[in-house]
């Protein structure tokens, strides 16, 4: 799976979780960039990403991710 394919699929997950059709994430996207990205949305997002890619994030990874790029790196390692 290419990095672009991961971002394409992540965009769909983000759009579903945040119920916004115009979300486009990139490596630098953070919770500050998406209005409704709070702690509850973060839990829903992580669960949706895990389901989409068939991966499981470790608790330490979930709490230490600084941006979407770090999420993509973990997905690339495990998918």
Q: Structurally, how many domains does the chain consist of?
A: 1
For the stretch 27-42, pLDDT in tens is 999 999 999 999 999 9
Give residue 71's domain range. 3-78
Give counts: helices (H), strands (E), the chain: 4, 0
From the CB of residue 20, how many other CB atoms can be counted at a distance below 10 Å?
A: 12
| Residue 71 host element (H or E) | helix 68-78
- pTM greater than 0.85 (yes/no): yes
For the chain, how are helix, strand and coil distributed in percent, rounded to 5?
A: 65, 0, 35
Domain of 21: which CATH number?
1.10.1200.10
- State the chain's mean pLDDT as an integer: 96
């Amino acid at each position: 799976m290419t990095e672009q394919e991961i971002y394409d699929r992540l965009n769909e997950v983000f759009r579903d979780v945040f119920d916004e059709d115009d979300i486009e994430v990139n490596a630098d996207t953070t919770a500050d960039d998406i209005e409704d990205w709070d702690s509850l949305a973060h839990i829903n997002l992580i669960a949706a990403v895990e389901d989409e890619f068939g991966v499981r994030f470790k608790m330490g990874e979930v709490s230490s991710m600084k941006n979407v790029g770090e999420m993509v790196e973990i997905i690339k390692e495990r998918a």
